[in-house]
Structures are given as structure tokens and as C-alpha cells.
Amino acid sequence: MIERYEGWMLAKSMISHIGNEKTGSTPILRTIYIYVDGLGERQIPYINGNSIRGKLRRLLMLDFLNLLGLSIEELDIKLYHVLFSGGLLESTDETYGTIDLTLRKAIRAKLIPLSLMGCAIGNQMLQGKLKVGHAFPVCEEYKNYLPEELKQDERAVIPVRVFTDESFQTRRDELKADREDDEQAVQMKVDYECFIPGTKFYHWFSLELPTPLERSCFGRMIELFRQSPFLGGKSAVGLGEVEFSYTPDIPSSEEYLNFVLTNKEQIKAFLKELGEKV
């Protein structure tokens, strides 16, 4: 069974989510082309689902270690990458073409965050149960793709570029040691494109065949997101703050938290064993 959680996110501060393109020296928002009935092909900015997923993965894994009483410094470097970035597929002559079903079953049973988010360990690829959608602005160009509730939002008849602007930051003088005593410091102004406060986004999560523990772990992940509700870059200076709502209600985290705390020592032992395998 696939469970889908649909809803919206609302920008409470500017959001910077830069793509690979620039207008002159100005980094611009990540964009994608969509087809709009009656208008043809249009380019709109959006927030990539992989960026959202990466943010939530880091929150969930750090919380998992905290619940276990472990620090990042205690992890093998490869195990750190398995947890926080998904790992890297590797193969040797001994493991090529073999699937360790016992290992996969143990990860599903004991490391619930990894089962939810997925990972690669050695030559083993464990598919995550969680899918994360892109966040598209509620706007005129995307209106036909919105659920009925958001089609009624006043923003759904407004062109998307009303919700973008340019901001700037200044770079500190990094060349102090290389300057002559009488040489004046130079500050650099850097412009960048951003979504403005008040931009609303359509967004969704889905869970594929989740167990009760995986569903509860998803609930914990959303709790952590509410505690640190930031997307995109420059959150250290207040950018990227959002509020959000999803339907149906997000599951309770109680079952997952009880499982981790009750089985803390077994989970820590398995993590140590896993660290020796990667």
C-alpha cells in the first residue's frame, strides 16, 4: 500500500535554492520547463525534492545517533556516509553479483531510519520506503497541476515571477594577510535570486509499503523538520524558514522512539558490526 501525504509549504523568509545557471554574475533559482495549456512551454523556479530529502535525512540521522547516545566522531567514515548521504556502491571480486539477504533483513529490522531513507552498503542497494516530491510554487503557470484545494488559493492566478526577487550579501575581506599596510580592504557585494516571503509551494511525501515502525519514523522526521523548518541555502542568516501542513495527519513518533530507546544496546552493537563491513 502506498500512503501519500499532500500539502503546502509557506515561505516565512526569503528562500535561496540556486541552480547551475547565472544571469551575468547573479546566481539564479533552480528552474524547470513545464507545459501550460494555452500558453505552451514555460520555465518556472522550484525547490528540488532531493534537496528536501537530504535536509530531512541529516536531521533524522543526527537525532538517531543522539537517541543512541553516540556522536558522529565515533562513526567509521564510511558508515557516516552511509547514514548521512546514502553511501556509495562498491564491489569486489568476492561480492560481485551476490546479495546478502541476511544483512538487508537486519538493516530493515534494526536501523529503521536507513530502511525509511535507503542506502548503499558495499554492493548492497537498499531502497528507501520514502519518496519526496519537488516543491512547486502555487502560481498561474502551475495551477492545472495543483490539487483542488490549492487551485482556490489567491496565488494560483498570479504569475510565478511575482514571487521571486533579488537579494544580496557582502563577502568579508579574506585577503587581509596579503594586503599592504596602507591598502584598503575591499568588500564584495554578491546578488542572488530568491523566493519572497509569502510564496506558497505544493508538496508531497509518499511511503511505499511501510511497516508501523517506518511510518512512525516518518512521523519523527516531520517533528524534527518542525523544530528546524528551513530549506535551501543561507539558513544561518535566517533564509529558508517555512511553515507547512499535510493531509492526512502525520503519524505519531511514539512507537519509533520507544523502539530505539528499548533496543539501544542491540542497535549500537549492530551499527558497530556494520561499520566493520563497509
Listing DSSP states for the chain in one string gives -EEEEEEEEEESS-BB-EEEEEETTEEEE-EEEEEETTTEEEEEE-B-HHHHHHHHHHHHHHHHHHHHT--GGGS-HHHHHHHHH-B-----TTTTT---HHHHHHHHHH-HHHHHH-EEETTEEE--SEEE--BEE-STTTGGGS-HHHHTSGGGGS-GGGGEEEEEEEE----GGGS-TTPPP--EEEEEEEEPTT-EEEEEEEEES--HHHHHHHHHHHHHHHHS-B-SB-GGGTTTBEEEEEESPPPPSHHHHHHHHHTHHHHHHHHHHHHHH-
- Please give the share of the chain, as a percent, with pLDDT higher than 90: 65
Q: Assign 23 a pLDDT band (cuts: 50, 70, 90).
A: low
The mean per-residue pLDDT over the stretch 218-227 comes to: 98
The mean per-residue pLDDT over the stretch 112-133 comes to: 91
> What is the spatial distance between Cα 179 and Cα 22, in angstroms, rounded to a whole number?
30
Q: Assign 230 a pLDDT band (cuts: 50, 70, 90).
A: very high
| Beta-bridge partner residues of 135 | 47
State residue 99's pLDDT score.
59
Q: Assign 1 a pLDDT band (cuts: 50, 70, 90).
A: confident
State residue 185's pLDDT score.
54
State residue 96's pLDDT score.
43
143 touches 152 (CB < 8 A): no
State residue 211's pLDDT score.
96
Tell me the backbone φ, ψ of residue 195, rounded to 5 degrees: -80, 145
Whether the model pTM is above 0.85? yes
Q: Assign 32 a pLDDT band (cuts: 50, 70, 90).
A: very high
Domain boundaries, the chain: 2-68+129-171+187-277
The mean per-residue pLDDT over the stretch 37-65 comes to: 94
The overall average pLDDT reported for the chain is: 88
At residue 95, does pLDDT exceed 50?
no
At residue 180, does pLDDT exceed 70?
no
At residue 115, does pLDDT exceed 90?
yes
Q: What letter represents residue 202's amino acid?
A: Y
Buried b (16+ CB within 10 A) or exposed e, 241-271: bbebebeeebbebebbbebbeeeeeebeebb
State residue 176's pLDDT score.
55
At residue 105, does pLDDT exceed 60?
yes
Least confident stretch, 43-47, 129-133, 172-176, 238-242: 172-176
CB atoms closer than 10 angstroms to residue 221: 23
pLDDT digits (tens, 9 = 90+) for 58-68: 999 999 999 99
State residue 260's pLDDT score.
97
Q: Assign 240 a pLDDT band (cuts: 50, 70, 90).
A: very high
State residue 169's pLDDT score.
59
User: Which residue did the predictor score with more confidence, 89 or 70?
Assistant: 70
